[in-house]
Amino acid sequence: MAPQREPEDRGGARGRRSPLGGLPRRVDAGGSPELEGPQCGGRGVKAELLSFTPLGELRKVAPDGLPDEGLLPHLTYVFAIEGISRACSHQLVRHRTASYSQQSQRYIPVRRLRERVVIPPSVSEKALNEYMSLMDRASDAYGGLVDTGVPREDARFVLPNAAETSLLFTIDGRSLLHFFGIRCCNRAQWEIRALADRMLAEVRGEEPAIFGRAGPNCYWLGYCPEGRFTCGRMDEVVESYRDPGLGVVE
């Protein structure tokens, strides 16, 4: 007899949407306020700094005369990241100098998918039912394949990029500054931008000497390097990163 799957509650669209209040906002390329971060409820994007190498400790053992910039590659930062989509994690792993340990879809069964998907802010209320219907169909297909004996490692091929994931992310100081430069930028997609802002808030509080001027490239360069792809809102963006709290959810 095939194993019984846990029934899913489909009492309306769920996913992870959040109210507008309390979420950071950013000026988009069109000049209107844009919701920052996944427009979803529940946990949302989380980025916790688990451990790091203090700059002061490394200074004690560094060769005399070595500037702090020369120490950056030797500083290590470990983050626990939760609540991002697989689409976002695919963007994240493009940063090849970092190390990753991601939650497995091979060994961890996927249950209650509709409660663990990210809903892009561009999905309107009108489109939400169709979006969640597709999530349900993917969940049914996955469960049906597993019930017929298809291994989870193969059944997962039908799961959506919207599915939530969690991971450990380890990166050195120089690479982290580069990460902030391009992922805090308005050109970055909304989800990884929200993640970068949360990570920046974490390290600014611990190492302001290094990350006090970190942020999108325009913030610390003093000009926008994006050329014709500029968002055109540099002054507003720079001002938002001067705020010690970054406007990021605490």
pLDDT recorded at residue 33: 32
Assigned domain for 38 exists: yes
User: The CATH number of the domain where 157 resides is what?
Assistant: 3.30.1360.170
Within a domain: 247: no
The pTM of the whole model exceeds 0.85:
no
- pLDDT at 23 exceeding the cut of 60: no
183 carries an active-site annotation: yes
Q: What is the mean pLDDT of the chain?
A: 83
Domain count, the chain: 1
Question: Does residue 7 sit within a domain?
Answer: no
Q: Is residue 14 predicted with pLDDT exceeding 80? A: no
Spatial neighbors of 7 by CB under 8 A, at least 6 apart, are: none
Domain assignment present for 203: yes
Confirm whether 205 is domain-assigned. Answer: yes
Q: How far is CA 197 from the centre of its chain?
A: 9
Is the residue at 3 inside a domain?
no
The CA distance from 117 to 164, in Å, is: 5
pLDDT in tens, 85-95: 999 999 999 99
pLDDT at 68: 86
For residue 17, tell me if it sits in a domain.
Answer: no
Point out the catalytic residue in the list 16, 116, 156, 183: 183
Q: State pLDDT tens for residues 190-215.
A: 999 999 999 999 999 999 999 999 99
Q: Which domain holds residue 29?
A: 25-242
Whether 116 maps to a domain, the answer reads yes
